[in-house]
Chain A
Amino acid sequence: MSAAAEAPSLIGTSGDSLREAFGKALSALADEFPKVVLLDADIAGGTGAHHFRKSHPGRFLQFGIAEQNMMAAAGGLSAVGLLPVVTTFAVFCLRAVEQARLSIAYCRRNAKIVASHPGLDVGPDGGSAQALEDIAAFRAIPGMTVISPADPVETALATRAILEFDGPVYMRTGRSPAKRLFGERHTFEIGKGRIMRGGSDLTIVACGVEVARALDAAELLADEGVSARVVNMATIKPVDAEMLARCALETGAIVTAEDHNIYGGLGGAVAESLAQSRPCPIEFVGVRDMFGASGEPDELAAHFGLDAAHIAQAARRVLTRKVNS
Chain B
Amino acid sequence: MAIMALKERRAELPIATRTVVEQLADAANFMRRHVIASVYHAGSGHPGGALSCSDILACLYGAELNVWPSAIADPDRDRFVMSKGHAAPALYAAAARYGFCDARAALNLRKLGSPFQGHPHVGDLPFVESSTGSLGQGFSVALGMAMGLKLQNRTARVYTLLGDGELQEGEVWEAAMCAAHHKLGNLCAIVDYNKLQSDNRNDAIMRIEPLAAKWRAFDWMVMEIDGHDIAQILSAFRRAGATADRPSILIAHTIKGKGVPYMENVPHWHGSVKLTREQTEEALAALGATQDETRELLDVGSR
With A77-B148, A106-B131, A107-B123 already in contact, the answer to whether A72 and B141 are too (CB < 8 A) is yes
Task: Report yes or no: B171 in contact with A79, Cβ–Cβ below 8 A.
Answer: no
Q: Which residue of A lies closest to B171 (CB)?
A: A68
Q: Report Cα–Cα, A72/B294, bound state, in Å.
A: 41
Chain B contacts for A81, CB-based, 8 A: 75, 148, 152
User: Is A75 an interface position by the 8 A CB rule?
Assistant: yes
Task: Report yes or no: A74 in contact with B144, Cβ–Cβ below 8 A.
Answer: yes
Task: Report yes or no: A103 in contact with B140, Cβ–Cβ below 8 A.
Answer: yes
Task: Report yes or no: A75 in contact with B141, Cβ–Cβ below 8 A.
Answer: yes
Q: Mark B73-103, 1 if CB is under 8 A from A, else 0.
A: 0010001010000000000000000000000
Q: Report Cα–Cα, A79/B79, bound state, in Å.
A: 10
- Which one of B130, B146, B174 contacts A69 once the chains associate, using CB atoms below 8 Å? B174
User: Is B24 an interface position by the 8 A CB rule?
Assistant: no
Q: Report Cα–Cα, A39/B175, bound state, in Å.
A: 14
With A72-B137, A99-B140 already in contact, the answer to whether A79 and B145 are too (CB < 8 A) is yes
- Which one of A61, A66, A76 contacts B130 once the chains associate, using CB atoms below 8 Å? A76
| B122, B144, B154 pick with most chain A CB within 10 angstroms | B144
CB distance from A25 to the nearest CB of B (A): 22
CB distance from B239 to the nearest CB of A (A): 24
User: Is B1 an interface position by the 8 A CB rule?
Assistant: no
With A69-B174, A73-B144, A107-B131 already in contact, the answer to whether A82 and B151 are too (CB < 8 A) is yes
User: Is B177 an interface position by the 8 A CB rule?
Assistant: yes
Q: Report Cα–Cα, A63/B177, bound state, in Å.
A: 9
Q: Report Cα–Cα, A59/B147, bound state, in Å.
A: 11
Chain B contacts for A302, CB-based, 8 A: none
Interface of A is mostly: helix
| B133, B170, B175 pick with most chain A CB within 10 angstroms | B175
Q: Report Cα–Cα, A58/B175, bound state, in Å.
A: 20
Q: Which residue of B lies closest to A105 (CB)?
A: B131
User: Is B143 an interface position by the 8 A CB rule?
Assistant: yes
Task: Report yes or no: A102 in contact with B137, Cβ–Cβ below 8 A.
Answer: yes
User: Is A45 an interface position by the 8 A CB rule?
Assistant: no
Task: Report yes or no: B152 in contact with A103, Cβ–Cβ below 8 A.
Answer: no
- Which one of A69, A82, A84 contacts B171 once the chains associate, using CB atoms below 8 Å? A69
Q: Which residue of B lies closest to A111 (CB)?
A: B144
Task: Report yes or no: A80 in contact with B140, Cβ–Cβ below 8 A.
Answer: no
User: Is B295 an interface position by the 8 A CB rule?
Assistant: no
Q: Report Cα–Cα, A64/B143, bound state, in Å.
A: 14
Q: Report Cα–Cα, A64/B171, bound state, in Å.
A: 12
Chain B contacts for A69, CB-based, 8 A: 140, 143, 171, 174-175, 178
Question: Which of A's residues lie within 8 Å of B, judged by CB?
Answer: 37, 58-59, 61, 63-64, 66, 68-82, 84, 98-99, 102-103, 106-108
Query: Given contacts A72-B137, A73-B144, could you give 7 more A-B pairs where the C-beta distance is less than 8 Å?
Result: A61-B147, A63-B178, A66-B174, A68-B174, A72-B136, A72-B140, A76-B147
7 A-B pairs within 8 Å (CB atoms) are namely A63-B178, A64-B174, A69-B140, A69-B174, A73-B147, A76-B145, A106-B123
Q: Which 9 pairs of residues, A with B, have the shortest CB-CB distance? A: A76-B144, A73-B144, A72-B140, A66-B174, A69-B174, A80-B148, A76-B145, A76-B141, A77-B148
